[in-house]
Amino acid sequence: MLFLALLAPHVKAAPHPEIVIAAAANLTEAFRALGPIFERETGVHPVFSFASTAQLAQQIQYAAPFDVFAAADSIHVAELERKGLLVSGSRAVYAQGILALWVPSGAKASVKRLEDLTAPEVRVIAVAKPELAPYGEAAVTALKRAGIWERVKPKIVYAENITMARQYGASNNADAVFTAYSLVQRSGGSVLRIDPALYPAIDQSLGILARSEHLDAARQFVSFLLHGNGRAVLARFGYQLPAPSELLYL
């Protein structure tokens, strides 16, 4: 007994299992909120790597050690599945994103509708690179469909992802920012939700990486997003969710 007592202080508790989730930048706030909830429920510690969808997809193709990919579109996930980089049948739409135009509280411009972006008071408009970020592509499409693209194009500055685009506004380097509603709904200033008719639906898909060494934990995270308490967190951050009857792997 004494021998065991002497040993006890040196016995370390087993570490929690850990998974790495490659997550599109628009998910930053939502995933940081749902991460602790998932860990409390499952004992699995989620580590998030946030970047643009295209950058993450490229990293996956170069064998980055991710377990789950939560993208801002469906195209990149489908392409990874086609290349055999995802667990067969794990691809699913988990949310639909909402494009927003954010005018920071310190900006001098008043923007009540997209057409107001043509006003001289609006000097700089931040947009995520459309070739990298689905929300950036949606923003450019919305401006074109609204008929004001050519008039505002000289004002556009491009960021690597929508989090960086938002930072342009937060640092007073942009008068207006196209970003995800989920990132700015609590940021102050004014937020204009863009008419969904002006851009293609932002169907956000996920998939489990075929090379994952933690498949059971990865499946737990996916189930948490599709069927568990992760849905409530996504809804709270302004995402539209598929109906439960539609939550089948694609």
CATH number at residue 144: 3.40.190.10
Q: Taking the model in full, what pTM does it have?
A: 0.85
Q: Domain total for the chain? A: 2
Provide the residue-wise pLDDT of the chain in tens; the chain has 250 residues: 444 444 445 545 446 789 999 999 999 999 999 999 999 999 999 999 999 999 999 999 999 999 999 999 999 999 999 999 999 999 999 999 999 999 998 777 788 999 999 999 999 999 999 999 999 999 999 999 999 999 999 999 999 988 899 999 989 899 999 999 988 888 788 999 999 999 999 999 999 999 999 999 999 999 999 999 999 999 999 999 987 645 444 4
CA distance 204 to 241: 10
Task: State which of 177, 193, 209 marks the end of a domain.
Answer: 193
Residues 133 and 209 in one domain: no
Beta strands in the chain (DSSP E): 18-24, 45-51, 68-70, 92-97, 99-103, 125-128, 156-159, 176-180, 190-193, 202-208
What residue numbers bound the domain in which 120 lies? 99-193
Residues 93 and 104 in one domain: no
Residues 28 and 151 in one domain: no
